[in-house]
């Protein structure tokens, strides 16, 4: 039975069998924006390009590693003191499937648009916190995007074997003007990994702002 997370909820990564969840996928899913056209007789669909990213932080709150799109311009990243984007961590414990530039255009298809695979057994031992977040490469805010979801599941990017936990964010008026979403974090305590559903929407217009926000306010 999958755990339906609420904002601020913290959970152990322990399966019903009692074993630890160590090898899994973190997937983000979202929908394209639909508006009614001529006299409500037609439907217009607007692609939504969200980017799922993560940063890895050590016990001294130093940024150790990152995964974010290589499409971000290096000259803009350098203004925030950040390196070029990449899809794998240095230890190859985490891998990103690559950019989805449009979102679900026919309603929720039950699949994730962008996925990061995680093998906790290979994570650099110095890493104690891993933050996952979404940034909008366009201008739409989260009050317009019909849904955004994050889930942890066993399987592969193309096959879901078992959903461990999910956290859903529906379009709500309070997200007006919010263009990024800090989804949650994996964190290690007493050598055990746990997950915290953060779910904070922000006005950040660029990934660098979100990373600075996390480093300044969420560690």
Q: Residue 85 maps to which CATH number? A: 2.60.60.30
CA distances from 70 to 77, 98, 180, 184, 185 (A): 11, 9, 18, 22, 22
Residue 206, pLDDT score: 96
Note down the domain range covering 167.
Answer: 26-217
Residue 21 placed within a domain: no
Q: How far apart are CA 115 and CA 27, in angstroms?
A: 4
Burial 116-131 (b: 16+ CB within 10 A, else e): bbbebeebeeebbbbb
Q: Is residue 156 part of a domain?
A: yes
pTM recorded for the entire structure: 0.93
Residue 20 lies in a domain: no
Note whether residue 98 is domain-resident: yes
pLDDT of residue 38: 67
Identify whether 8 is part of a domain. no
The pLDDT value recorded for residue 120 is 97
Q: How far is residue 115's CA from residue 96's CA, in Å, rounded to a whole number?
A: 6
> In tens digits, what is the pLDDT along the chain, a chain of 219 residues?
789 999 999 999 999 888 999 999 999 999 998 877 766 666 788 899 999 999 999 999 999 999 999 999 999 999 999 999 999 999 999 999 999 988 888 878 878 999 999 999 999 999 999 999 999 988 888 898 988 889 999 999 999 999 999 998 887 888 899 999 999 999 999 999 999 999 999 999 999 999 999 999 999
Closest to 213 (Cα-Cα) out of 12, 151, 69, 202? 202
Model pLDDT, residue 174: 87
pLDDT value of position 107: 78
Residues composing the chain: 219
How crowded is residue 188: how many other Cβ atoms within 10 Å of its Cβ? 16
pLDDT of residue 198: 94
Quote the number of domains for the chain: 1
What pLDDT is stored for residue 40 in this prediction?
Answer: 67
């Amino acid at each position: 039975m999958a755990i339906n997370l609420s904002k601020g909820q913290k959970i152990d990564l322990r399966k019903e069998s009692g074993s630890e969840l160590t090898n899994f996928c973190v997937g983000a899913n979202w929908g394209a924006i639909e508006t009614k056209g001529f006299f409500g007789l037609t439907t217009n669909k607007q692609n939504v390009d969200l980017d799922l990213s993560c940063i890895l932080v050590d016990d001294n709150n130093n940024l150790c590693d990152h995964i974010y799109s290589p499409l971000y311009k290096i000259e803009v990243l350098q203004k925030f003191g950040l390196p070029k984007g990449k899809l794998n961590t240095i230890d190859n414990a985490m891998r990103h499937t690559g950019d989805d530039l449009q979102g679900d255009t026919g309603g929720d298809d039950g699949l994730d648009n962008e996925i990061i695979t995680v093998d906790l057994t290979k994570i650099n031992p110095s890493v104690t916190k891993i933050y996952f977040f979404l940034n909008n490469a366009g201008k739409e805010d989260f009050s317009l995007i019909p849904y955004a979801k994050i889930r942890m599941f066993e399987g592969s990017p193309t096959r879901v074997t078992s959903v461990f936990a999910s956290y859903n964010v529906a379009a709500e008026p309070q997200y007006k003007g919010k263009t990024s979403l800090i989804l949650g974090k994996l964190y290690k305590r007493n050598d055990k990994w746990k997950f915290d559903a953060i779910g904070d929407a922000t006005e950040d217009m660029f990934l660098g702002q979100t990373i600075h926000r996390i480093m300044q306010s969420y560690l």
